[in-house]
Amino acid sequence: MKDKIIVTGGCGYIGSHTVIELLESDFEVVILDDLSNSSEATISRIKKITGISPIFIEIDLKDARATHKVFSDHKDAKGVIHFAAYKAVGESVQEPIKYYKNNLFSLLNTLEAQVYNGIENFIFSSSATVYGMPNTLPITENNKTQRPFSTYGNTKKIAEEILEDYTRSNKVFSVISLRYFNPIGAHSSGEIGELPNGIPNNLMPYITQTAAGIREKLMVYGNDYPTKDGTPIRDYIHVVDLAKAHVLAVKRLLNKEQEMALEIFNLGTGVGYSVMDVIKTFETVTGVKLNYEVTSRRDGDVPELYASINLAKEKLGWSAKKALDDMINSSWIWEQNFQNETNVISKSLSGSDSLK
């Protein structure tokens, strides 16, 4: 019998890559997703890559009754990985209630439903944004958290506080919260990758869409930061490396190896690259010249952020393997594949239109 894992938001960017790693590590997977920022086509892509079709249930986790029903149907699951959340930083500042409602109601309903059905293990998709403006680098998990600038970030911080309270009150419930730095890259098959809704907030999809001619120009938000070239430094991590860390976290919980009811791990490479490093590496790796312009700083951006990765190495036995070149190259291959497919579909649609 395979161990069953419920993955909320399993059709999304990090969720879908994690589902692949879980399937390839011999877990059974049930995906719960409302498809608000993803597509059901991801399921067939996962099948194409792994040869296995995960169970897929379209559900809005804000609906407590529906959530309870699904968890009672899958009470044999051994754990839950909770990705389902809205994640657009800019939109979250414009529409805070939408973000608090979605990200926190979904979390609370999931927790309640899983514990009611005796599922004791939970992995949370958190973010380095909970560190706010760090005073020391690299950031260890012991760094004090601060109120993040964005509502999106604050939902992650509040969620971790909810999990802290929940593990304190419920002695059998075990949680690992994974704080991601800057996930980029795509699966080596070129079948799945990041697909932001509308205009991307994040650097990498903005770069690939500019290179593909969808955006006219990349705006570099400030080159007057106290860094080597004046542009902000981040810890970019390949999404497949990130996905593998989730599998190790699941195994740690299932094998009852955790040392505290709530454990927190940074997931990064420990190496920081500036925005200009990323642009230059993109141009070198792909041979495509990028149209960019330096503009003013973006509100809420910190100058420098990179992880201390020792804890994840020691406790999860995990470290990132893929270099920046690979992250960028795979993002670019995915973008090109996606654009080619979109063109084929729109050509065939306009073809059928003309037949009418």
- Largest Cα separation within the chain, whole Å, is 66
Cα–Cα distance, 237 to 246 (Å, whole number): 14
**138 lies in the binding site for ligand UFG (CB under 6 A):** no
Min dist. Cβ of residue 221 to ligand UFG (A): 4
Min dist. Cβ of residue 187 to ligand UFG (A): 19
Q: Which of 158, 160, 202 is nearest to 177 (CA)?
A: 160
**177 lies in the binding site for ligand UFG (CB under 6 A):** no
218: which DSSP letter?
A: E
128: which DSSP letter?
A: G
The DSSP string of 57-93 is EE--TT-HHHHHHHHHHTTT--EEEE------HHHHH
Cα–Cα distance, 20 to 29 (Å, whole number): 9
**149 lies in the binding site for ligand UFG (CB under 6 A):** no
Footprint of ligand UFG on residues 72-91 (CB under 6 A)? 87, 89
Site string for ligand UFG, 21-60 (x = CB under 6 A): ----------------------------------------
**307 lies in the binding site for ligand UFG (CB under 6 A):** no
The answer to whether the bond into 205 is cis (omega within 30° of 0) is no
| Segment near ligand UFG (CB under 6 A); pick from 65-73, 124-132, 239-247, 326-334 | 124-132
Letter string b/e over residues 217-256, b meaning 16 or more CB atoms within 10 A of that residue's CB:
ebebbbbebebeebbbbbbbbbbbbbbbbbbbbbbbbbee
**129 lies in the binding site for ligand UFG (CB under 6 A):** yes
| Segment near ligand UFG (CB under 6 A); pick from 28-36, 97-105, 158-166, 196-204 | 196-204
Type and span of the H or E element at 198: none
Cβ nearer to ligand UFG, comparing 71 with 236: 236
**310 lies in the binding site for ligand UFG (CB under 6 A):** no
How far is CA 277 from each of CA 255, 297, 303, 340, rounded to the nearest angstrom? Answer: 41, 17, 14, 28
| Segment near ligand UFG (CB under 6 A); pick from 38-46, 219-227, 280-288, 312-320 | 219-227
Min dist. Cβ of residue 301 to ligand UFG (A): 4
What is the three-class DSSP state of 80? strand
**234 lies in the binding site for ligand UFG (CB under 6 A):** yes
Min dist. Cβ of residue 352 to ligand UFG (A): 36
**305 lies in the binding site for ligand UFG (CB under 6 A):** yes
| Segment near ligand UFG (CB under 6 A); pick from 41-49, 59-67, 218-226, 325-333 | 218-226
Min dist. Cβ of residue 275 to ligand UFG (A): 5
| DSSP β-bridge partners for residue 295 | 221
Cβ nearer to ligand UFG, comparing 113 with 278: 278
Cα–Cα distance, 99 to 88 (Å, whole number): 9
Cα–Cα distance, 213 to 280 (Å, whole number): 18
**10 lies in the binding site for ligand UFG (CB under 6 A):** no
Asked about 152 being catalytic, the answer comes back as: yes
Site string for ligand UFG, 236-275 (x = CB under 6 A): ---------------------------------------x
- Judge contact between 149 and 96, C-beta under 8 A: no
Tokens of 229: 């070239």
Angle between helices 13-24 and 239-254 (to 10 degrees): 60
**Which of the following is catalytic: 86, 99, 152, 166?**
152
| Chain residues in the site for ligand UFG (CB under 6 A) | 87, 89, 127-129, 153, 182, 201-203, 206, 218-221, 232, 234, 275, 298, 301, 305
Catalytically active residues, by annotation: 152
